[in-house]
Chain A
Amino acid sequence: MKNTGRLLTVILIGYLVFIFIFIFTPIITSIIFSFNSDRFPTIPLGSFTLKWYELIYNDPDVWEAAKNSLIVSVSVGILSTIIGFCTAYTDFRYEFRFKNMYLALALLPPTVPLIILALAMLAWFSKIGVSGQLWTIVLAHTVLCAPFAMAVIRLRLQQMDADLESAAWNLGASEWLAMKEVVIPFALPSIVSAMCLTMAVSFDEFAVAWFVSGLNKTIPVMILEILQGNIDPQINAIGTFVFFTSMTLVIIAQLFFTFRSPKATL
C-alpha cells in the first residue's frame, strides 16, 4: 500500500516535469537555435554562430522597432501603474454604491479577446481621428495593463495595517501628505512590480499593436510580419532578446512582489 503510494507520487512528479518541459521547450529551443548556423534549424545542430545577432544588429528596422517598443512599454508601464494604483487604493479605502460595477469596469479588459479589442480600437481610433500613431498603442495597451497593475498593488495594500493611514493623519498629516509619506512608501515594492509586469505585457503584445500601429511597428509586430513570410532564424535572435527582456522584467517584478511579503506569491 505504502509502496504504491510512493510509486504514484513518483509518477505524478514525473508527469509534472513533463508538463514543465512542454512549457519551456519552445523557450529553450528558440534560444539554442538563435546560435545555430542552419537556415532551417533541426537536429543535429549546425555550428555555433552569432550571424543572426549580427544580422538584426545591423538592421535599422529592428532598431526602429526596438525603439518603438521601448517607448510604448515604458509609457504603458507608467500610465497603467498610475491608473492601477488609483483603482487599488480606491478599492482598499472606500466603500460606495456601485462599487461592484466600478471594479468590473476596472478589471474586465483582460477577459476580452485581444483580436476583438484590436478591431474595436482600430475602428474607434480612426473614428476619433487618431489612428496610425505610435501613442495610440499606448492608449490601447494601458486599457489592457491597468487591471494587472491594479491586482498587484491591491494585494500589497491588503497587507497594510488599516490603521497606518489613520495614524499618519493622527500625527498631523493631511490626506495628501499621508498618501505621499505612508501609502506610497508602503506600496512601493508593488508599484515597481506592477510597472515591470505591465511593461512586460505591453512589450509582448502583438494583436492590438498590429492593428492600431499603422506604420510604427513594435518588435512583436515585426516578428508577426516575419512569421508571415518565410522561415527566418532571425526570429530566434529577436525572440531571445525579447525573452530576456520580458523575463528580466518579470523576475524583477516577482522579486519586488515577494519583497517583505513572502506570503504574497501564494
Chain B
Amino acid sequence: MGQTKDETRKNTGDMSQEPQIVFQNVVKYFGNTTAVEKMNLTVKKGEFIAIMGSSGCGKTTTLRMLAGMETPSEGEIRLNGQRINELKPSERNTPMVWQSLALFPFLNVIQNVEFGLKMRGIGTEERRRRSLEWLSRMAIEEFAERSIDQLSGGQRQRVALARALVTEPPVLLLDEPLSALDANLVVRMQGVLSRLQKELGITFVYVTHSQSEAFAMADRVVIMSKGVVEQVGSPQEVYRKPASRFVANFVGSNNILNGDVSAIDTSSVIIETEIGAVRANLPTDHEYSMGVHLGLVISADAMDLSMTEEQSKDNQFRCRLVSESFVGAMVTMLVETDSGIELKIQLFQKELDQIGFSENTSSSGTFLWVSWSKSSVYILPQ
C-alpha cells in the first residue's frame, strides 16, 4: 500500500503521457446526499486549475478526496497514474493550504514549516536548512522563531505555503486560502501564488468561490454546481462561451436573454426576446429552425453606450439609467429597457467621457442607447 516518494517520482517519469490527476466517474455520497456526482476531470502536470462554485457545490469535497480526507464512494482517482482511492492522507504527497490555514499554534514558524519533513524522518539539520530556504523564499525568514499568533494574516499565509511546499510535492492543494485576507492582500498573494506556480512548475489545484481569484490565476477553471461539473475550460472560454445557463449566471457580469427564433438568413439569426428582436451571428453548425427557444448571453463589457440613436448597429435599444457604480476606472451601469428589463453594462470611465455622458445627463432621466454587435451575442447550447 505505501509507496515511497521515490517510486512515485519514477512513475511520473515513465508515464509522462498520463495526466497528473485523473478523476474517473468519481461519486461521493454523505449519507443520502450526493456531494459529488460522476466527476470526470484530468489535470496536466504543471497546470494551475481552479475549482469554482458556491458553497456546498462539492468543490471542497473534491479537494478533500484528492488529499485523502474523504474516500470516493465510486469511481477512481489517479495521481501520476497510480490509483490513490485507498491511500491514507499521510501516504500521498498532496499537501494542502487550508482555508483556516491550520497552522500548529503550539509550534513556532520554523517548526511549522519543518513538520512535513520531520514526519518523513528527515534529520534535524537538513530539515532546518530546507525550511529556512523556504522561509527566505517566502521572504519571512526573519520570523523563523516567532510564534504563530505574532504574525499578520499575510505572513501566516506564507508560513502555510512554505509548510506545504517544503516537501517539494508534485501537487499543491489550496482550499480558499485567500478568503480571510483583505482585498489588497488578496491581489498581492495572487501574484505570489502565480509566480510560485510558474517557478516550481508543479500542479496547483485551487478551490475558491471567487471568480476574480480563479480567473486571475488559473490556466483552466472547473465550474461546479450541486456536485456536478458544469464546465471545464480556460477563463476565456468560460467567460465568453458558458456551457450552460448556470455558468453564464455564475460568471456574473453577463446579460442573459431568452427568446424564440423569428428569422434565419445566411449569416445571422434573429431572436425575439423579452427586450425585442436581437440579431446574432449564425453558428456554422447550427440546427436552429423557426420558433426554437434559445438563451442568449451578452457580456456586460461587450456593450456600447451612446447618447443618441445611431445608424448601422446590429442591436440597439433605448434605455433609462437605473444606477451606476465605479470601481477604479471601470463603471458598471444598470439600465432599464423600454420593456422593463434590466441590462448590465461595463465601460471605462474614458469611454463615458468620450460620448459626453455626465452626472447631469444621467440624473435628468434622459434616454441612453445601448448597442452591441451581433458577433458578441453568444447562443447558449440547447
Contacts and interface: CB of A to CB of B under 8 A. Distances in A.
- Indicate whether A and B are direct neighbours in the complex (CB within 8 Å): yes
A173 B100 contact: no
Contact of A170 (B94, B105, B106): B94
B100 A161 contact: yes
Contact of B167 (A168, A171, A174, A177): A171
A96 to B, nearest CB: 14
A168 B102 CA distance: 9
B90 A167 contact: no
A169 B115 contact: no
B102 A174 contact: no
Contacts, number: 69
A161 B102 contact: yes
Assign chain A's interface to a size class: 20 to 34
B105 A163 contact: no
B290 interface: no
B93 interface: yes
B98 A169 contact: no
A260 B105 CA distance: 10
- The winner among A166, A167, A173, A178 for most chain B CB atoms within 10 A is A167
Contacts of B107: 185
B102 A172 contact: no
Interface residues of B, number: 26
Interface in B308-360: none
Interface string B90-110: 100111101110101111000
A163 B102 contact: yes
A166 B106 contact: no
A171 B106 contact: no
A241 to B, nearest CB: 36
A73 to B, nearest CB: 28
Contacts of B67: 166, 170
A94 to B, nearest CB: 15
Interface in A153-198: 161, 163-164, 166-175, 177-178, 181-182, 185-186, 188
Given A161-B100, A166-B69, A166-B89, A171 B105 contact: no
A164 to B, nearest CB: 5
Contact of B115 (A174, A175, A181, A186): A181
Interface in B114-173: 115-116, 118-120, 163-164, 167
Contacts of A260: 105
A132 to B, nearest CB: 45
A172 B106 contact: no
B93 A172 contact: yes
B198 interface: no
Q: Is the interface of A mostly helix, strand, loop or mixed?
A: helix
A170 B116 CA distance: 8
Nearest to B69: A166
A172 B116 CA distance: 6
Interface string B221-245: 0000000000000000000000000
B170 to A, nearest CB: 14
A173 B90 contact: yes
B72 interface: no
Nearest to A160: B105
A171 B115 contact: yes
Contacts of B88: 169, 174-175
Given A161-B100, A163-B100, A166-B102, A171 B69 contact: no
B115 A170 contact: no
Interface string B64-81: 000111000000000000
A260 B167 CA distance: 31
B102 A167 contact: yes
B158 to A, nearest CB: 16
Contacts of A173: 90, 115, 119
Nearest to A171: B116
A181 B106 CA distance: 10
Contacts of B68: 169-170
Nearest to B119: A172
A159 to B, nearest CB: 10
Contacts of B90: 169-175, 177-178
A176 to B, nearest CB: 10
B106 A177 contact: no
Given A169-B89, A171-B95, A172-B90, A164 B102 contact: yes
Interface of B: 67-69, 88-90, 93-96, 98-100, 102, 104-107, 115-116, 118-120, 163-164, 167
27 contacts: A163-B98, A163-B99, A163-B102, A164-B104, A167-B102, A167-B104, A168-B119, A169-B68, A169-B69, A169-B88, A169-B89, A170-B96, A171-B115, A171-B119, A171-B163, A171-B164, A172-B93, A172-B119, A172-B120, A173-B115, A173-B119, A175-B88, A175-B90, A181-B119, A182-B104, A185-B104, A185-B106
Interface of A: 161, 163-164, 166-175, 177-178, 181-182, 185-186, 188, 260
Given A167-B98, A173-B115, 11 more contacts: A164-B104, A167-B96, A170-B69, A170-B94, A171-B90, A171-B115, A171-B163, A172-B119, A178-B90, A181-B118, A182-B104
